Amino acid sequence: MAVSPASALDYLRTRSIVDCDTLDAKVAQTLGPFQDCTSNQAIAFAELSKPERKELLAESHFKASTLLRAMAETREPRFVGIELDELAVEIATVKLAIQVTPYLRGRVHVQTNPYYAYSTEKTIANAFRIVYLFKDLAPQWDSSRICIKIPSTWEGMMACRTLQLAGVHTLATTLFSMPQAVLASEVGCTYIAPYVNQLKVHFEPGFVDPNKLFMLCCNIQQYYKIMSSVTKVLPASLTSTDDVLALAGVDHITIAPSLLQLLSLPAGPRPRSIFDKVTPAMTVGLLRTSYLKDEAAYRIAFTRDLGGASEEKLTQAINIFCDMQDKLIALVKSKSE
């Protein structure tokens, strides 16, 4: 006789690969095992703002200063044009990611600077710089465990294409539409992160997303299977345990610490997963769709998706992450003075 899972988190792990959406190693250690660890500018700011991170910030600022002096002599292209405080933020984020890895089976995900979201060249340079920092700070660490998170703009996904061809894993994040998902698969992204809730639910008190994208996650995964795509679906931006459990059966799912804590409690009634329901055959008409060599077709398809709502959500998310990048820079400056 089969034994029922002891908690909702145990149940979820029988159906999906579970990742942690945090840079707090204690969370990964306590509530694991996890496959991957995801992060972004907001998560990095929350962790680096903790009083116990003051020394790490100081070390990162000193390391950034040392690296910039060394790279100025060699004119290393990955470091050309980067400011001291921006580099210190990247070093601090990579240090946190390295601390989490002992409690993971898979990869750590670090997001590129959102201010580069509309520059393929700057995003590529940023990604290679992050990879360099991992190798410099942890020479014995397996660099194949790095995944670079990149906003799902056209320029961002062209950067993903270059990085994947160079052997660097990528995740197309802030994804809200099927056109973005089709292009992400075409460029060979390792993962995509559809945002079930638009990002402002985490920053605007009282706001509830009226159009959660559960069915989009399901349709993308169905489409990828039909197309034999290597790209995995990894939903993000979840606000409740019901959100999480509604996606049981998705390839990967990344969950914030507060929800992980709730899911680890003894299991109660579970909502039916969207993956247990009959999926509308909306993917059939997309089987011959290709955007890789037709930027104009992609841009109009994305602009018109849901009457412009998907493009609006992407713009909103990039703005929020830019705000968080600004806060990270201010935090580094305040700790280095």
| Catalytic annotation, pick one of 122, 149, 212, 327 | 149
Give CA–CA dist 136/124, Å, rounded. 18
Provide the strand spans (E) within 36-136: 37-38, 108-111
Rg for the chain, CA atoms, rounded: 20
Q: Using CB atoms within 10 Å of the CB of residue 154, give its burial: 0 to 12 exposed, 13 to 18 middle, 19+ buried.
A: middle
Question: Which are the contacts of 170, defined by CB distance < 8 A and separation ≥ 6?
Answer: 127, 147, 148, 149, 150, 159, 160, 163, 164, 189, 190, 191
**Residue 149 among the catalytic residues:** yes
Question: Is the distance from CB of 218 to CB of 275 less than 8 angstroms?
Answer: yes
Question: Is the distance from CB of 301 to CB of 182 less than 8 angstroms?
Answer: no
Tokens of residue 115, six digits:
């201010």
Question: Is the distance from CB of 19 to CB of 36 less than 8 angstroms?
Answer: yes
Closest CA to 88 of 323, 96, 100, 50: 96
Amino acid present at 104: L
Give CA–CA dist 179/298, Å, rounded. 7
Percent helix / strand / coil, the chain, rounded to 5: 55, 10, 30
CB neighbours (10 Å) of residue 296? 8
Give the catalytic positions in this structure. 149
